[in-house]
Amino acid sequence: MNILVTNDDGIYAKGIRALVEALSGLGKVFVVAPDSQKSACGHGITIHDPVMVREASFEGAEKAWSVSGTPADCVKLGSSMLIPDKIDILFSGINQGGNMGTDILYSGTVSGAIEGILLGIPSVAVSLDSHTGDDFEASQKISRTVCKKMMTKELERETLLNINVPYVSKDRIKGVQITKLGIREYTESFQERKDPRGRVYYWYSGTPKNVFSEEDTDVMAVEKEYISITPIHFDLTNYRIINDVKDWGIRYE
């Protein structure tokens, strides 16, 4: 079993170290991760600059590489160039900060897993719902459990599992819920600042708002101290209204 591990917090982040520790022993673990922080980079790939790759020392991994690009770059390079054997499972994480609802459209963590399923690799994204906490024990436990399940169960092609773990002590976690994406909104702002030469620039900040979400969503599950697992497909087509839009009678004239 060959397991590829990536993330968006960078190869030196505590979360990816915890993930490799959790998965080592289940198969050969290979790490291909960004050389620096790439949070909220979405599914970007590098096409106008060279992508630099360096071998890295990583306890618990067969081999590891740091990459100057994005999580999607890492998965592409890892599966096609760096690792000679077929990758059986991909894990992206453990991210510091939840990736629920519309977060997944921005998330480099989830995008790493999306790239995996685009390449035909069963993939999982794992996030801890805290940007500062570093107790990954529960995240490690569920990652290892899901990895074992995926060795015997077949996940539908082009579908990934998105795991979000509440940041509470392991004895407070109430269980696991299989969920759908919820509503995740932010109070957003840009702060205007000036650099030493007097040039204006803007610094973004966003704080999650408490919004109502349905009971069977990832947002509510984590709020109620359950681990959320959401099957995600990258097809964003709204099939329900295709015929409605056809009835608009749009023509090129």
The CATH number of the domain holding residue 75 is 3.40.1210.10
- Is 126 within a domain? yes
pTM: 0.93
Query: pLDDT > 70: what percent of the chain?
Result: 99
Confidence at 9, pLDDT banded by 50, 70, 90: very high
- Is 190 within a domain? no
Closest C-alpha among 63, 43, 62 to residue 53: 63
Q: Tens digits of per-residue pLDDT, 208-246?
A: 776 667 889 999 999 999 999 999 998 889 999 999 999
The answer to whether residues 28 and 22 touch, using CB atoms and an 8 Å cutoff, is no
Contacts of 104 (CB under 8 A, 6+ apart): 110, 162, 181, 232
Per-residue model confidence (pLDDT) at position 204: 82
Q: Tens digits of per-residue pLDDT, 161-216?
A: 999 999 998 899 999 999 999 988 777 778 899 999 999 999 887 777 766 678 89
Domain count within the chain: 1
Per-residue model confidence (pLDDT) at position 212: 63
- Is 71 within a domain? yes
Confidence at 135, pLDDT banded by 50, 70, 90: very high
- Is 7 within a domain? yes
Closest C-alpha among 233, 111, 110, 219 to residue 162: 110
Averaged pLDDT for residues 134-152: 96
Mean of the per-residue pLDDT values of the chain: 94
- Is 188 within a domain? no
Averaged pLDDT for residues 143-152: 96
Q: How many CB atoms lie within 10 A of CB 131?
A: 11
Per-residue model confidence (pLDDT) at position 98: 94
d(C-alpha 1, C-alpha 29), whole Å = 9
Per-residue model confidence (pLDDT) at position 210: 62
- Is 106 within a domain? yes
Query: What range does the domain containing 63 cover?
Result: 2-181+213-246
Closest C-alpha among 36, 252, 22 to residue 137: 22
Averaged pLDDT for residues 62-73: 97
- Is 25 within a domain? yes
Contacts of 145 (CB under 8 A, 6+ apart): none
The answer to whether residues 227 and 144 touch, using CB atoms and an 8 Å cutoff, is no
Averaged pLDDT for residues 127-134: 94
Contacts of 253 (CB under 8 A, 6+ apart): none
Residue 7 or residue 184, greater confidence: 7
Query: Would the pLDDT of 127 be above 70?
Result: yes
Per-residue model confidence (pLDDT) at position 133: 92
